[in-house]
């Protein structure tokens, strides 16, 4: 159960109701709607991360889901395993993300991105070797997008856990 009540869309501005509607009134956005200006900017950056970059969407979703796993954020994990599946992440890859190091279903680039993700989340920044391994496989733009994706979803995971955001029924997860 959430630590504070979700915002009431009926009491929100027209713009906030529009944003909530576009996002199926998902619990994360209803909680964030307590700060409508932040909600709007959060959604703008989230949309850019998920729809406007050059980073391979499979690599992005593997990194985002792994971030959720490391941050122990079930809402994030459930949502992005589904989103990942929609962009080409295989069931085997989703299942292997907990212990990806011993899995054989990831490409070299995906493995480098997962190592990068692990170190950004756990160590605050990647080691030189890990940074060089992923940098050798991505353009500078895609590398920046990978880091910003991980950072954005660390923030998102911490938000979800801070407010104990309730999971949506499977058919409603965004």
What pLDDT is recorded for position 63? Answer: 98
Of 87, 91, 115, whose CA–CA distance to 105 is shortest? Answer: 91
Residue 15 has pLDDT above 70, yes or no: yes
CA distance 66 to 26: 21
Within 10 angstroms of residue 8's Cβ, the number of other Cβ atoms is 9
CA distance 54 to 23: 23
CA 72 from chain centre, in angstroms, equals 12
pLDDT digits (tens, 9 = 90+) for 53-103: 999 999 999 999 999 999 999 999 999 999 999 999 999 999 999 999 999
Q: Which domains are delineated in the chain?
A: 57-162 (1.20.1290.10)
CA distance 155 to 85: 23
What pLDDT is recorded for position 168? Answer: 81
- Percentage, residues of the chain above pLDDT 90: 95
Q: Whole-model pTM?
A: 0.93
């Amino acid at each position: 159960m959430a630590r504070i009540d979700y915002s009431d869309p009926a009491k929100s501005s027209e713009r906030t109701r529009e944003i909530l509607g576009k996002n199926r009134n998902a619990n994360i956005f209803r909680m964030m709607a307590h700060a409508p200006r932040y909600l709007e900017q959060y959604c703008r950056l989230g949309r850019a991360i998920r729809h406007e970059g050059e980073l391979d969407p499979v690599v992005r979703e593997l990194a985002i889901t792994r971030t959720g796993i490391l941050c122990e954020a079930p809402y994030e994990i459930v949502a992005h395993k589904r989103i990942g599946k929609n962009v080409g992440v295989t069931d085997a890859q989703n299942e292997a993300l907990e212990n990806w190091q011993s899995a054989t279903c990831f490409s070299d680039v995906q493995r480098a991105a997962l190592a990068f993700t692990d170190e950004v989340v756990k160590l605050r920044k990647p080691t030189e070797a890990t940074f060089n391994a992923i940098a050798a496989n991505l353009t500078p733009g895609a590398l920046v997008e990978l880091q910003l994706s991980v950072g954005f979803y660390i923030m998102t995971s911490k938000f979800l856990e801070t407010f104990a955001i309730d999971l949506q029924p499977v058919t409603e997860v965004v």
